[in-house]
Structure 1
């Protein structure tokens, strides 16, 4: 039976939700001041992972960083002069001091682009050390997507609440970062025929290619309630989603593996039988939900209105068969030591040789193209 309790609907929070995700549904019913142009929406899409740029102070390095930022990549670099680099890049990238012990150097790094003007012995050693660290954190079997034990500002800005306020309800939730965990918590109400709370990422830009993996792994600690993990292989706000319901054990750590092949295609809590399997080659977003509803009118057997809380330590892709982490080196010199570092690594690498007369823009574009096309495998490019 539907719940007829009516509470005051918070239209301000409804608008804030739409504004956060840059989505204004039912556009004809809202005044023009609520509309945002497409360029503004695109600018708020978020990239996943970090690209480490070695040799960022070189002309090629600066151009590579400029193009990465234009594509919404997060960029990290390691330099001798931190102040100079921060001034040069207007603090738009993360700068780490060279020769400083920093165990977070490879945290969430998805690829390395090395573009020193000339690879002297110190720079070769930095490349070798970086590759070894990178391999240590990116084994073929898994890919770390979110490490909530060490949250950063990008991670905080990536997740936002999507509660039943979007359909007139009054439930509230958020994602807080405390005690080396992300805590999804809130208060679910069935007033106004509502009954769900969730947190969702903005769309990843570019979408994640996890086709090399079997599924998603969550490291969690719950409250005994049932939750949903939701992901999407299209960029629509209110489109097809793929769901997986899971039960938690009160105050007990769990490692939950969610195979892509077991995700259920759903549109507005109704299963879509002809949707096909989830396309893990283009993962646009993640979402965690606590809901009164299961699928096709069924109810969550572990649901009760009120407070809830789910702690998340990490989100990974698991079951990888081949390491798709990228290593790109652009150099104007042939260097047997560098070639040996690349060939002995477990990474997909691209070695780009270019002439002094080659345009900087052409070299940097080749680096970005190699980064975005790991399916091409290991290769050497002569420009």
Structure 2
């Protein structure tokens, strides 16, 4: 006897995926409907995953970076000198780990354990003092040599051996750090949409996520799945070989889907994989092995999978394979697929160390420059302990480290609200390619947003980028990759004449 179909769950599914039967995704109607239903069209907060170490996390820039990372789904390990201060100024969050790590001293051996990257916001601290010699600023705490130069040496002592031992993967969903945004983007898509009664969901565990529930063949059903909402912007996995899964299953055969079209009921690209009961396994699913499928039937005339725009991911357990064939390892009832990570593998490296430097670091060495018109840090570089000289030396040390890195040179930082379009360029002369780098400013919020975006951009590696705000409002999803690709990579052995 068939069970009763659950209309409520069917409507919840449509609401979660913002879709209507026979119409498809409501995304084209967003401009009209969003003002009327703002909560309905709220995009998921997820932008990335994994553990990121933030050095200098209690500084104003570091605080902004920590908040942005947590909001977008990352876990954070904050390297600080003063734990009491960190507990006051950093947001309380179960996925924020505060570690005492003073860069002027050898750093804890396990500082980077489990991390995917470091964003280094450490810098020499200056404060106004009217009684100090010109320029009326004094150094608070350690001198620039200790902070900038020895700080980079101590950081690289930990970063080089650790990151050089890590594979070049793109962590799409790292459930070793199961932050809420990594769950909120997934919704159940079960056979209730076809009249069935199966039910599934995704749970967060301590160091993993669990796809589980009950699959039933009643009412002509027989499948359960979880699928992400359409990701905005879509994932760009060009240059990678495929998807790597780290899972522990129940011995059944599952499917993994990618979609390169935002359509609700369009073609998906699928691959089947077998699990071993109660054993963790690592699976590599090459993009070349994914087959186009429409409603469990292969679609040989469909275009190839476009890995440059992946809108959604999906995990499924079904009684069917493809074209009517049955899944030989399917059994109705309860099921369990535990997930540790979903990553893209076989591609270019992502930035491992993102260094926040400063505009003007090469200007003290430019003999033809009128220092009288320069910012105080440039005019009084020597009086301030060679602060810019130390930053440049730290940059050069990082360039020669062998690690995938990005160096960011922001203009004068402010605590104003963010939301401005940014100009990316290279050059360190006020009359050069970045004409406002002498007098321009940049919100720390906007800088933090840019720094966090670099984590998932292979094109950002081995580049030094000058950043300034414009007077234009920021785009919702700036095309950072295309803009960074227009900037040359750094020389591997920088010299004083390099003015990147």
CA distance in 2 between counterparts of 1:39 and 1:329 reads: 37
| Structure-2 residue corresponding to 1:121 | 146
1:25-83 superposed Cα distances (whole Å, 9 cap, x missing partner): 2499xxxxxx873675343252222554433444444555676678x463634334556
| Structure-2 residue corresponding to 1:276 | 303
| Structure-1 residue corresponding to 2:194 | 167
What SS does the aligned partner of 2:356 have?
A: strand
2:74 aligned with 1:17, yes or no?
no
2:99 aligned with 1:98, yes or no?
yes
Q: Residues 224 and 249 of structure 1 are in contact (CA less than 8 Å); yes or no, is this contact kept in structure 2?
A: yes
CA distance in 2 between counterparts of 1:311 and 1:68 reads: 25
| Structure-2 residue corresponding to 1:381 | 465
Matches within 5 A, 1:114-193: 114-118=120-124, 121-122=146-147, 123-124=151-152, 127-128=155-156, 131-132=159-160, 135-136=163-164, 138-140=166-168, 142-149=169-176, 151-177=178-204, 181-193=208-220
Could you tell me how far 1:188 is from its partner in structure 2? 1.3
Change beyond 3 A, Cα 1:92–1:148: closer
C-alpha root-mean-square deviation of aligned residues, in Å?
Answer: 3.8
| Structure-1 residue corresponding to 2:400 | 343
Which one has more relative contact order, counting CA pairs under 8 Å at least 6 apart?
1
Change beyond 3 A, Cα 1:180–1:124: closer
Determine which structure has more spread, i.e. the larger CA radius of gyration.
Answer: 2
Q: Residues 63 and 360 of structure 1 are in contact (CA less than 8 Å); yes or no, is this contact kept in structure 2?
A: no
Change beyond 3 A, Cα 1:219–1:194: same
Match of 1:6 among 2, 14, 28: 2
Q: Residues 354 and 451 of structure 2 are in contact (CA less than 8 Å); yes or no, is this contact kept in structure 1?
A: yes
What SS does the aligned partner of 2:8 have?
A: helix
Gaps of 5+ in 2: 24-32, 102-107, 125-143, 359-387, 413-437, 468-500
What SS does the aligned partner of 1:336 have?
A: helix
| Structure-1 residue corresponding to 2:140 | none
- Between 1:246-255 and 1:211-220, the stretch displaced more is 246-255
Q: Residues 44 and 184 of structure 2 are in contact (CA less than 8 Å); yes or no, is this contact kept in structure 1?
A: no
CA distance in 1 between counterparts of 2:94 and 2:332 reads: 43
What SS does the aligned partner of 2:282 have?
A: strand
Change beyond 3 A, Cα 1:73–1:282: farther
Gaps of 5+ in 1: 29-34
Change beyond 3 A, Cα 1:171–1:381: closer
Could you tell me how far 1:300 is from its partner in structure 2? 2.2
TM-score of the pair, normalised by structure 1: 0.78
1:125-169 superposed Cα distances (whole Å, 9 cap, x missing partner): 5643563476156433x3444444553444344443221122221
- Between 1:123-132 and 1:330-339, the stretch displaced more is 123-132
CA distance in 1 between counterparts of 2:58 and 2:145 reads: 15
What SS does the aligned partner of 2:313 have?
A: strand
Matches within 5 A, 1:310-329: 310-320=337-347, 322-329=348-355
- Between 1:214-223 and 1:88-97, the stretch displaced more is 88-97
Change beyond 3 A, Cα 1:83–1:264: farther
Could you tell me how far 1:84 is from its partner in structure 2? 5.0
